Structure 1
């Protein structure tokens, strides 16, 4: 056996992505990764290379995630709590739910973001939260990470046959409500759309936003359970209830979940993260996460 840090540190970002997919929260995922490394360090001498270090670490991390899930409520996006509002003048209603969080691309392996961008999209992360813990873990390891069933069996402490059965149940459940994962767009086009979006919001330009949104776009913002679907509803909602006057908002570009994003400031104070799902036909989703704590998590100041 070699040195613990040398053997295990290369997998830290990969484990963070795995725990994030499992838990839907960057805060919870970081806590579980720290716990994983503590458990691994304590049992390192007894490990003795009975499997690969990668498989061993994923087993510890997966068990830690399953334990965490048994003590925490499910995380949602607003669209997971009910249908869209009909009237864009509807005052948004708050919900006491635990929300799915975005994860900064800066915390992830850049190569993994390029190779598996779709597997980090916020729509998929939210959909995964609907699966029971063990189904979620097997689906992520088999269908997202493409691990062999034999390796997944080692992680799950079960047989290959049990892994295949669990995967079938997970797939069947997801087929009932498949995640709305949009087709990828070239990075240059993503950057241009983000720049136009930032300008439209900062200038409170509803007409410019209307041009950017797809006709079937949706807008949802935590901590509100109220959300809107269709450009005809989204634009009046944004103009009348969100944008304010020019200069009300300041947005700084960033990226999260392999998607273009912006750090939002309202009246100079941290608001949270605005995440865009962009297709060749325009912006399909705006997911706003009204959590000032996320601004610091993304490495930005709390005021501008």
Structure 2
């Protein structure tokens, strides 16, 4: 059946090509996302790569599997994008009436975007080579994807192909058109660079996704945030909690400065409703600012990283990412608010 589909696709049958590539589409999109750090960039590059695969299918000789051949095309398209990309520029603070605290530092990866969990189904339960070193769920986390982004392009590609997906060194060398020794050297440097960014040793693991422990912690966060209860919110944070807001470069590390940021935000009178979703295997929320009219306007998406029974990181993204999660730009009047407005005297 596979050989027949390939023959038909090579003869120009578009339906046969789609049947061949569709089973791999999600995992290839996740691969692009790990390499590029941007959901939109990943989708754009994947489309270009699949078009290149369609045009170049006549050159597929079956020496490697179709999946490996597709990874070769997609990886090299990602490398081209990384080398030539004018990445999304940093933005300046634009929330009126709120002056943020002095940041701990300025972030480098301002183009980072979240990846919807709804699209991960079937994408991270893929067959891995025997040399894969990371759990698939760990390798899609925001911390991991952010750490990848500061590696040089070839090191990034080698580490993802070898340690995340488990391709053999000779397969990776063939994909990238380099020697096996070059792959080994790049992998050694990439591992060292990643280790400097990911300090996860001896830390409590997060509660399992969807577990009662995760649900309880998330419920406490929602209650504290929606009621602007700073004391309750701070009690949920680790001492070294980290907060970032791409494409704003401002980054805050430590409970005190993150608490100060939230206090300034709530102190301006802003109040929010949170709508749950999931991103990068982590709890996430669409944040909706309550307006005097009762309509709530989407201001962004928060993604939480958990450690034990505490929150160790909060990442806030712009409202432009909400549609990718099936979230609306605004929420209608709550029913009780609508009743009050209708009963108000003219």
- TM-score, length of structure 2 as denominator length: 0.77
2:310 matched to which residue of 1? 282
Alignment of 1:180-219 (within 5 A): 180-181=199-200, 183-187=205-209, 188=211, 189-219=213-243
Q: How many residues align?
A: 292
1:60-79 equivalence runs, <5 A: 60-73=73-86
**Cα separation, 2, equivalents of 1:40 and 1:136:** 22
C-alpha deviation, 1:178, in angstroms: 2.7
Q: How do residues 132-281 of structure 1 correspond to structure 2 at under 5 angstroms? A: 132-175=152-195, 177-181=196-200, 183-187=205-209, 188=211, 189-242=213-266, 244-245=268-269, 248-267=271-290, 268-281=296-309
Larger Rg: 2
Q: Does residue 303 of the first structure (1) align with residue 330 of the second (2)?
A: yes
How far, CA to CA, are the matches of 1:15 and 1:25 in structure 2? Answer: 14
RMSD (Å) for aligned C-alpha atoms = 2.7
Structure-1 residue corresponding to 2:129: none
Q: Distance in 2 between matches of 1:196 and 1:163?
A: 46
CA distance 1:223–1:133, change in 2 (3 Å)? closer
Q: For the structure 1 residues 10 and 110, does the alpha-carbon distance in structure 2 shift closer, same or farther, using more than 3 Å as the test?
A: closer
Residue 168 of structure 1: how far off its partner (Å): 1.5
What is the rounded CA distance, in whole Å, between the counterparts of 1:145 and 1:283 in structure 2? 29
Q: Deviations over 1:160-186 (max 9, x none)?
A: 2221122122223334x2324563322
- Classify the secondary structure of the residue corresponding to 2:315: strand
Query: 1:201·1:209 contact (CA, 8 Å) conserved in 2?
Result: yes
Gaps of 5+ in 1: 79-87
Q: Contact 2:26–2:123 at 8 Å: present in 1 too?
A: no
Uncovered stretches (5+) of structure 2, i.e. residues with no partner: 6-15, 92-98, 127-134, 291-295, 332-346
1:112 aligns with 2:121: no
What is the TM-score of this pair, normalised by structure 1?
0.87
Contact (CA 8 Å) 1:76, 1:97: kept in 2 or not?
no
What are the within-5 Å matches in structure 2 for residues 16-165 of structure 1? 16-73=29-86, 90=101, 98-110=110-122, 112=124, 115-165=135-185
